[in-house]
Structure 1
Amino acid sequence: MSTAIYQGRYTATDLAPEDHRARALSWVVWAGTIGAVLGPNLLYISDALGESFGLPDMGGPYVVAAVAIAIGAIIIYVRLKPDPYLIATTKSHGSQQVPSRHKLSDAVAQLKDKPRAILGIASLAIAMAVLVMLTVTVPARMLDSGISLQVIGLIVSINIAGMYLLSPVVGWLVDYFGRVPMITVGVMISASACILSGLTSAGSTTILALGQFLLGLGWSCTMISGATLLTDEVSPINRPAVQGFSDLLVNISSAVGGITAGLLILTASFEILCAVALVPLICITVVISIPACRRNSATSSP
């Protein structure tokens, strides 16, 4: 499921004009808002439906989710023809090109002498790690401080709103101002969220809510601009392999972020966790300052 979501974002860019590529990707991200809002609210209904068919407790949501995924797969298979990717490779190479099965080393080789593509992947991985580090710990910290589940749920919703709700606006900004400048903006917003959260007590729910919104918004800016930059820098025929490699690193960074957060909470403190989360953001800022990362390639936008 995670693979389908990630690749769906890139699919939206296959036929998008270069100066509208981020906007196309951002609308797919925005669609996640619908699922994030509807999903939790369908739990009770789908559970009741499952019990009416004799399924065990909470078995219904899994069946409903599986059916929804199957319907989505059928719609994509039937309606998404011809494949936008094949059309894109045809336009790029003059004839339809279907890539052979790639190895991981092939994807890595495509990144040689492409510092801006590496910057795109690094920004995606770091943005996800920082997002996970704070989103898995802030609710737990609030719960330990006696904050009600209703308030915690609201703050989680605010974080999700920051991640998805403004995606079309972020996509427009990425196309207008450029990929690298918006990665910088996303990093700065995420850093502000880390500092704000680290300096705020668990009982200051309003400020924590603001921090969670900024955390989500920073992720949105960095993710949309980083994914678009990666797409810009790699030729259409090689994009699936490199994009898949990027998704692998993003998922690994997500796991590392969660494990790191747990260890820091166990052995240190939440404040230390927020300080540690700033380190990779600072590293990305340093990478952005490298001239090769800021220089436009022959086929890329700013």
Structure 2
Amino acid sequence: MATDLTEPRAAARLDVAPIQRRTMRLLFTTQIIGGIGVTIGISVGALLAARVAGTAVAGVAQSAGVVGAALLAVPVTRIMARHGRRPGLVLAYAVGAVGGVLVVLAAATRSVPLLFLGMLLFGGGTAANLQARYTAVDLAEPARRGRQLSLIVWATTIGAVAAPNFAALADRVTTGWGLPPLAGPFAFSATAFVLAAVVLLGLLRPDPLLTARRLAAADAASPPTTGPDGGGPAAAVPSGGAAAATAPGPTAGTAASPAGGGDGPAAAPVGVRAPRGAGMRAAWSVVRGQPAARLGIAAVAVGHLVMVAVMAMTPVRLGESHADADVLRLVGIVLSLHIAGMYAFSPVVGWLTDRLGRRAVILGGVGLLLAACAVAGTAGHHTPRLSVGLVLLGLGWSGTMVAGSTLLSESVSAGVRPSVQGFSDMIMGLAGASAAVLSGFVMQAAGYPVLTLLAAVATVPLVALALRPVPTGAPGEED
């Protein structure tokens, strides 16, 4: 008979470890499927947009997916806040699937408005992949949060590497079915999103966020017990081997202290559902009053802004010194190395986040971003040196993303956590979209070295925030 988690005592007896292992396996699998869906569409998105809408607006159409992911974070996390991770992730993938279908229809009818709408909704797949990393933290032990979040980020590597190789096959197969050229990959993307949604809908049970809230509520409701000497309360340890104070993340009335960092917060008692006011306004109110949450959001957003600004114009930089016959091959190699830097070492970054602390890894990520800007900006037309710069850029992004996301997740209570995480993803997406648009103007007006210099300058506020003196005993901060 299934455990009734609505009862505090049943929640207290719950063994969290098997649920977390099952959740991690499921997220890892769907992250691969969703990553293939996102990347197989993105790999041909600019080419398809150029054929339908013209080269001049191809970049804008491509960035519509980034904006869509940022905007969809708001309704998706609102649903998560009220009903749990499962319906939010399923909705995001479903919206992405609809977007893929609309892009196929736009290619068939050569409709520019339909193309933009489809690309906007296609961002739902990206939104789901981003939110999956937070789902991995809901029931993680404090000392393993960084590693478990980073494993879900790392799973994206498999999809990102495999998907471009499927694009040509998908195009050949669907062209035989009568679909227009370059539309086939989006049909495959829609299929992948539907598959991921169905798997999550059927198997992500119990919901990790709702389970964490129930455990926190049960922990808050448990009466204190007398210690062995009769002089004070003893910590109550739930049966089944999973203490609510350590397994689900920040719990009521406790200050979780991650290993090596001490960046954990003190969370207020929460119920199973978030309050109805737990939207973006409530998220901003929480972030504004919590220095650790502000640092987490800033790390994710600034790291993404710098990465996108430099990466987006690197193919243009390569095109300045290589013939058309060679540039596509070189772009593929350089960007593959960059993607490897972003994702392949994320488990190591997660381990360092747990070992050294969130703030230290954020500062290390910023250092790598600055090194990347210096190397790429002074590389001239030396492609191997430029490649090294792009690898460093990916590693710096990984440091700020993994450590920032981990710090943010543990710095707020479970009641508002999805809203704050959605707020962070919205800021990150808008920062990346803005960087992609502005980088083209900077590149045209001043060149690639100036672009990398401005990207480096953009890290200054983050460094100042990370080095800010911390008041002793402040929640969510190191003592």
Match of 2:329 among 119, 130, 150: 150
Distance in 2 (CA, whole Å) between partners of 1:261 and 1:295 is 41
Percent identity for Structure 1 against Structure 2: 36
State how far apart, in whole Å, the 2-side matches of 1:296 and 1:72 are. 43
What is the TM-score normalised by the length of structure 2?
0.61
Q: Cα offset for 1:27?
A: 0.6
Aligned to 2:376: 197
172-181 or 135-144, which deviates more = 135-144
Instruction: Tell me which moved more, 88-97 or 238-247.
Output: 88-97
Match of 2:152?
28
d(CA) in 1 for partners of 2:286 and 2:186?
A: 39
The equivalent residue for 2:177 is 53
Alignment of 1:258 onto 2:433: no
What is the rounded CA distance, in whole Å, between the counterparts of 2:410 and 2:477 in structure 1? 5
Q: Using the alignment, how far apart are the partners of 2:354 and 2:473 within structure 1?
A: 14
2:303 aligned with 1:127: yes
The match for 2:454 is: 276
Cα distance in 2, alignment partners of residues 100 and 31 from structure 1: 33
Matches of 2:211 and 2:409 in 1, distance apart?
16
Give CA deviations for 1:164-198 in whole Å, capped at 9, x if unaligned: 00011110010000000000000000000001111
Question: For residues 241-298 of structure 1, what are the alpha-carbon distances to aligned partners after superposition, in whole Å with 9 as ceiling and x for unaligned?
Answer: 0000001100110011112211111211211111111112122111111113x86754
Where does residue 274 of structure 2 map in the other structure?
Answer: 99
Evaluate the alpha carbon distance shift between residue 299 and residue 198 of structure 1 in structure 2; reply closer, same or farther with a 3 A threshold: closer
Taking the TM superposition and a 5 Å limit, the aligned residue runs for 1:1-302 are 1-94=125-218, 97-101=272-276, 102-146=278-322, 148=326, 149-202=328-381, 204-292=382-470, 297-298=474-475
- Tell whether the 8 Å contact from 2:374 to 2:452 is kept in structure 1 after alignment: yes
Structure 1 position 301, deviation (Å): 7.0
Q: 2:290 touches 2:476 (CA, 8 Å); kept in 1?
A: no
Alignment gaps of 5+ in structure 2: 1-124, 219-269
Unaligned runs of 5+ in 1: none
With over 3 angstroms needed to count, the CA separation of the structure-2 counterparts of 1:133 and 1:256, relative to structure 1, is: same
Do the aligned residues in 2 keep the contact of 1:18 with 1:301 (CA within 8 Å)? no
Deviates more, 1:226-235 or 1:273-282: 273-282
Q: Is the 8 A contact 1:232 1:301 kept in 2?
A: no
Could you say if the C-alpha distance between residues 138 and 299 of structure 1 is closer, same or farther in structure 2, counting changes exceeding 3 Å? closer
Aligned length: 300
- Inter-CA distance 9–297: structure 2 relative to 1 (3 Å threshold): farther
Out of 141-150 and 119-128, give the one that drifted further.
Answer: 141-150
Q: Is contact 1:114-1:233 (8 Å) kept?
A: yes
CA contact (8 A) 1:179 1:301 kept: no
Structure richer in helix, relative to its length: 1
Residue 200 of structure 1 and its aligned partner are, at CA, apart by 1.0
* Aligned residues of 2:292 and 2:477 also touching (Cα < 8 A): no
Q: TM-score, normalised by structure 1?
A: 0.95
Q: Do the aligned residues in 1 keep the contact of 2:338 with 2:393 (CA within 8 Å)?
A: yes
Deviation at 1:113, TM superposition (A): 2.4
Q: Is the 8 A contact 1:233 1:297 kept in 2?
A: no
Per mean C-alpha deviation after superposition, the further-off stretch among 144-153 and 189-198 is 144-153
**Per-residue deviation at 1:54?**
1.6
1:112 to partner: Cα distance? 3.3
